[in-house]
Chain A
């Protein structure tokens, strides 16, 4: 069972470059999320989606864009990467009504030089 799959798992970028992280889930979940994890700060919500074609801002959305063109995929884009975006990014998904029972991917480590 694949669950939530993130690609790529590691990436190094130079300041100003762009990239896209892909999240795919095979559990038919309605909700999907992108979090970033930084030491001592736990996980902070970047953007989320409550269904295909919908997206919403989370706690730290600046510098990121997302798209949910298909129910099973949630893309996170960085148009012009900055060193402050060096982090580990986690995708998660869930069903409505479960109030926070999220299923997480294994993370994508991004370094911006």
Chain B
């Protein structure tokens, strides 16, 4: 069965500093990987996705993520954090099978200090 682990429950970062969120997955085949962001009181919004090809993928809002098969990781990064990046971030793994079902990690809540 597929699973996703986000080791950091909370991260606090200063505005303007860099951010990296960790994600490790377990999946038997080549995974389809996603990062979603949830602002307070809102639903989830897709930040970026990896299906195949270039292992460094760019997303919206200046985020990027790198797929490392050898480490079963898909870490999310942003070079310079803005106060509006305070949110909860979810890593997810899926498959191109019937249903497009996703398995989510537990989430990482990011707090941005002025």
CA distance A87 to B106 in the complex (A): 15
Closest to A35 in B: B104
CA distance A10 to B49 in the complex (A): 31
Asked if A43 and B46 make an inter-chain contact with CB atoms under 8 angstroms apart, the answer reads no
Asked if A101 and B99 make an inter-chain contact with CB atoms under 8 angstroms apart, the answer reads no
Question: Which A residues between 86 and 107 are near B, CB-CB below 8 angstroms?
Answer: 90, 92, 94, 96-102, 104-107
Asked if A104 and B43 make an inter-chain contact with CB atoms under 8 angstroms apart, the answer reads yes
A61 within 8 A of B: no
In the complex, per-residue mask of B1-25: 1 if CB is within 8 Å of any chain A CB, else 0? 0001010010000000000000000
Question: Which A residues between 3 and 20 are near B, CB-CB below 8 angstroms?
Answer: 4
What total count of A-B pairs have CB within 8 Å?
72
In the complex, per-residue mask of B26-66: 1 if CB is within 8 Å of any chain A CB, else 0? 00000010100000011111100101000000000000000
CA distance A107 to B90 in the complex (A): 16
B101 within 8 A of A: yes
The minimal Cβ–Cβ distance linking A72 to chain B, given in whole angstroms, is: 17
Asked if B43 and A106 make an inter-chain contact with CB atoms under 8 angstroms apart, the answer reads yes
What secondary structure prevails in chain A residues at the interface with B? loop
Asked if B106 and A99 make an inter-chain contact with CB atoms under 8 angstroms apart, the answer reads no
B100 within 8 A of A: yes
Asked if B106 and A102 make an inter-chain contact with CB atoms under 8 angstroms apart, the answer reads no
Most buried by A among B6, B99, B104: B99
B112 within 8 A of A: no
Asked if A58 and B101 make an inter-chain contact with CB atoms under 8 angstroms apart, the answer reads yes
Known interface pairs A100-B94, A101-B46, A104-B43; A50-B102 also in contact (CB < 8 Å): no
Residues of B within 8 A of A97 (CB): 96
Asked if A40 and B106 make an inter-chain contact with CB atoms under 8 angstroms apart, the answer reads yes
Residues of A within 8 A of B43 (CB): 4, 90, 92, 104-107
In the complex, per-residue mask of B77-114: 1 if CB is within 8 Å of any chain A CB, else 0? 00000000000001010111011111111110000000
Asked if A99 and B44 make an inter-chain contact with CB atoms under 8 angstroms apart, the answer reads no
Asked if B41 and A106 make an inter-chain contact with CB atoms under 8 angstroms apart, the answer reads yes
Closest to A102 in B: B102
Asked if A101 and B101 make an inter-chain contact with CB atoms under 8 angstroms apart, the answer reads no
